[in-house]
Amino acid sequence: MKKIIKNKINKFPKEVILWGGTGQAKVVRPIIEHYGSKVVAVFDHTPKLKPPFKEVPLFHESEFPEWLSKQTNKQNIGFCVTIGNPRGNIRLKIHEMLKNSGLMPVTLSHPSAIIAKNAQIGEGTQILAGAIIQPEAVLGKSCIINTKASVDHECILEDGVEIAPGATLCGSIKVGKYSWVASGATVLPWLTIGENSIVGAGAIVVNDVPANQVVVGIPARKLRDIEPIK
């Protein structure tokens, strides 16, 4: 977990592309435009996907190299990867690809979100409406803290994590990279969620969750294993 930033939230170039053309794009675009930037293109891998916005062109991901070759000011174009979990690893790979292409990663927060002054936020992370990030929390690269999610004091989220709408992380929790805490789940203090794991919607986690597992229920128990990410 590298390149933690503190003071680059909502500081975008004038033009931004979104990579991912479904619901996440629709909630992120208003944040970008609220701060005076413009979404100029959307990219997605899904064949025959309906464009999420009438006035913004949608491209297949295979068209990206040609599109990029036509940009004369690519160093002044930002990007946001609007792909939710359980594809945090894919989101991170696309983030690195776009950054290596010369585009600028944007880190964004809805104006209604609350972020403690000493929280650390990784590049490319998205903090959505009503979310709360408490003191000394550390968020890695390309995380998503979704609508009204709460990340309490001293939590550590590694790269590619998503905390879904209404989920709660109590204090001093560590969440391994690519993991997903689904809607309305609660993780009690001092626990660890292993890499590439999923906490099911509405679950209450009272024990550590190993890597590569799905847990569900109250209290949360193992449902199944997940194939490790190589």
Task: Give the active site residue among 60, 95, 110, 153.
Answer: 153
pLDDT digits (tens, 9 = 90+) for 147-176: 999 999 999 999 999 999 999 999 999 999
Within this chain, domains 4-106 and 109-219 share the same CATH topology = no
CATH number of the domain at 109-219, out of 3.90.1150.10, 3.90.79.10, 3.30.70.2740, 2.160.10.10?
2.160.10.10
Q: State how far the Cα of 23 lies from the Cα of 20, in Å rounded to an integer.
A: 9
Residue in this structure with the two tokens 């999420």, named with its chain if needed: 52
Q: Is 45 assigned a catalytic role?
A: no
Enumerate the domain spans of the chain: 4-106, 109-219
Report the SS3 class of residue 136. coil
pLDDT digits (tens, 9 = 90+) for 131-147: 999 999 999 999 999 99
pTM: 0.95
CATH number, span 4-106:
3.40.50.20
Q: State how far the Cα of 124 lies from the Cα of 105, in Å rounded to an integer.
A: 5
Q: Which residues of 145-159 are buried (b: 16+ CB within 10 A; e: fewer)?
A: bbbbbbbbbbbbbbb
